[in-house]
Amino acid sequence: MKSLITIRRADWYRSVQAIDGRSGATVQLAGREVINFASNDYLGLAGDERLIGAAVAATQEFGTGSTGSRLLSGHRELHRELEQAIAALKQTEDALVFSSGYLANVGAIASLVGKRDLILSDQYNHSSLKNGAILSGATVIEYAHCQVKELQAILLQQRPNYRRCLILTDSVFSMDGDLCPLPALLDLADEFSCMLLVDEAHATGVMGQTGAGCVEHFGCTGRNLIQIGTLSKALGSLGGYVAGSATLIDYLRNRAPSWIYTTALSPADTAAALAAISIVKEEPQRRVQLWKNIDYLKKLLYKLPNLKLLPSESPILCFQLPSAAEALQISQGLQAAGIFAPAIRPPTVPTSRMRISLMATHQAIHIERLVEGMGNG
Ligand SMILES: *Cc1c(COP(=O)(O)O)cnc(C)c1O
C-alpha cells in the first residue's frame, strides 16, 4: 500500500502496545512496570474491586452477552436502572445507553438532522461528532476552535437558509484539555433556535461539584441541551449515553439506528457502570484528589521552562512539540525512564504534542518522576 509508506515517512505510523494485568496508576508494559499517564480512567475505577464485583455478579446472573438488541431480546432491567442513574447524575428527565460513546454521537446526530438542515461544528471536535455529522446528510460548517464570534457570524448569514440547526461541541476537548464556552454557545442556540449537543466524554465524573460534567461546572444544569457521554472513561466501564428531555430520549429509542440495530450493552459493562456512578456520588474525595494532582503538576511546570503547555482546565495536559519525530522521541525517552505517556500526532491533531492525563490514584512521586523525565527529554 502506497499510502502506508507515506504514513511512515511522515512519522504518522501507528501500532498497538499491549498492557498486562489490571490497569491503574501504574501498569505492566512490555514486561516492566511504568507510571501510566495515558489512561482515561480519571478516577481509577477500572480496576476497582466494587466494579469488578458488580460485573462478575451480573455475569453470573445474566450470562456474558445480552443476546439481542434492546427492542428485541436484549433489554434487561439493569439497563433501565443505569439509564435512571445517569439521568439522576446529569439531572435530566431521561437517558439512553448505547454500546459506546461513538455510537451515541453518531446515532443522535444522524437522527436529529438531515438533508435540509445545518450542522455547526467546532473544528477540534471528536471524530464521532464529525462522522455523525457526515452521516446525517446535513450541510456541515466548521467554526474555528471555540470562536463564538465566528459562530455567531455564520448563524446570522446561514441560519435562515435551513430548517433545523444543530451546534456540536466537545465540552472538554479530548486532545487539548480545554473547555468549550458553554454558556455563550447556549445563548446563541437560544437566539437562533438551534439545538446544542455537548459531548461530555472527558467531563463526566471529573467536572462539576457532583461530577455531572461541564454542564454542571458552568452552572447550565437544566438548560435545553443534548448531552452525550461515555461509560468508558471516568466510569471505568464500556458504553455511551445520551441524556436530555424525555421527548428526546423517546425519539432516539424510535429513530437512532446505532441504538436500534445493535446488540444491547453486556450485563457486565452495565453493572460496572452502575457501580461507578454510585461511587462518583458517594466518594467526592476521588474528584478532589484528581484536582489536587492537576494543581501539583501545574505547580511543578516551572522546572520545564522550554516546554509549552497548551491551555487546559481538565486532567488532560498537552505539551506542544515542533514535529511528530520530536514528539515520538520524547515519548520513547519517557518510556525508557518508566513513564507511559503518548505522543499525539497528525491527523488526530493539527500539531504534534505529548498528552498527559492525570488520575486520582496518581501519587505525588509519580508526578515528580514525570516532570523529571520530561526535563531530561
Ligand atoms: C472517547 C470519546 C468518545 C467515544 O467514546 P467511546 O465510549 O470510547 O466510544 C466520544 N467523544 C469524545 C469527545 C471522546 O473523547
CB distance 128 to ligand 1 below 6 Å:
yes
Over residues 284-305, mean pLDDT: 97
Distance 2 CA to ligand 1 centre (A): 30
Nearest to 41 by CA among 233, 174, 207: 233
CB distance 136 to ligand 1 below 6 Å:
no
Query: In sequence order, what E strands does the chain have?
Result: 19-20, 26-29, 32-36, 94-98, 118-122, 139-143, 165-170, 195-199, 226-230, 240-244, 308-309, 316-320, 339-340, 343-344, 353-357
CB distance 100 to ligand 1 below 6 Å:
yes
**Percent residues over pLDDT 90 in the chain:** 86
Clarify whether 303 is annotated catalytic. no
Looking at the predicted structure, is the pLDDT value of residue 377 above 70?
A: no
The rounded distance, in Å, linking the Cα atoms of 294 and 317 is 9
CB distance 199 to ligand 1 below 6 Å:
yes
The rounded distance, in Å, linking the Cα atoms of 134 and 109 is 9
Q: What pLDDT, on a 0 to 100 scale, did the predictor assign at position 31?
A: 87
CB distance 174 to ligand 1 below 6 Å:
yes
Q: Is 49-282 in the same CATH topology as 18-42+284-376?
A: no
Q: Are 196 and 203 in contact (CB under 8 A)?
A: no
Tell me which CATH code domain 18-42+284-376 carries. Answer: 3.90.1150.10
Name every residue whose Cβ is closer than 8 Å to that of residue 173 and which is 6 or more positions away in sequence.
122, 124, 145, 179, 180, 202
CB distance 202 to ligand 1 below 6 Å:
yes
Looking at the predicted structure, is the pLDDT value of residue 286 above 80?
A: yes
Q: Are 250 and 128 in contact (CB under 8 A)?
A: no
pLDDT tens-digit map of 162-216: 999 999 999 999 999 999 999 999 999 999 999 999 999 999 999 999 999 999 9
pLDDT tens-digit map of 33-55: 999 999 999 999 999 999 999 99
pLDDT tens-digit map of 331-350: 889 999 999 998 998 888 88
Nearest CA to ligand 1 atom 5: 101
Name every residue whose Cβ is closer than 8 Å to that of residue 194 and which is 6 or more positions away in sequence.
120, 155, 159, 164, 165, 166, 167, 188
Of 145, 204, 232, the residue with max ligand 1 atoms within 8 A of its CB, to mutate for a pocket test, comes to 232
Q: Which of 90, 126, 202, 366 is catalytic?
A: 202
Distance 70 CA to ligand 1 centre (A): 21
The rounded distance, in Å, linking the Cα atoms of 372 and 312 is 21
**Residue 281: exposed, middle, or buried by beta-carbon count in 10 A (0-12, 13-18, 19+)?**
middle
Q: Which of 233, 312, 352, 362 is catalytic?
A: 233
CB distance 125 to ligand 1 below 6 Å:
no
Clarify whether 308 is annotated catalytic. no
The rounded distance, in Å, linking the Cα atoms of 41 and 24 is 8
Q: What pLDDT, on a 0 to 100 scale, did the predictor assign at position 114?
A: 98
Q: Residue type for 300, please?
A: L
Distance 271 CA to ligand 1 centre (A): 20
- β 308-309/343-344 pair status: unpaired
Give residue 357's Cα distance to chain centre: 12
Higher per-residue confidence, 8 vs 139: 139
pLDDT tens-digit map of 296-341: 999 999 999 989 999 999 999 999 999 989 888 898 899 999 999 9
Q: Which CATH number among 3.40.50.720, 2.30.22.10, 3.40.50.300, 3.40.640.10 corresponds to the domain 49-282? A: 3.40.640.10
Listed by start position, the domains of the chain span 18-42+284-376, 49-282
CB distance 232 to ligand 1 below 6 Å:
yes
Cα within 13 Å of Cα(376), Cβ side: 13
Distance 53 CA to ligand 1 centre (A): 25
Clarify whether 174 is annotated catalytic. yes
Q: Are 333 and 376 in contact (CB under 8 A)?
A: yes
If pLDDT is split at 50, 70 and 90, which confidence band does 220 have?
A: very high
Q: Which three cell numbers stand for residue 171?
A: 465540552
What residues form DSSP beta bridges with 167?
A: 120, 196
Over residues 46-70, mean pLDDT: 97
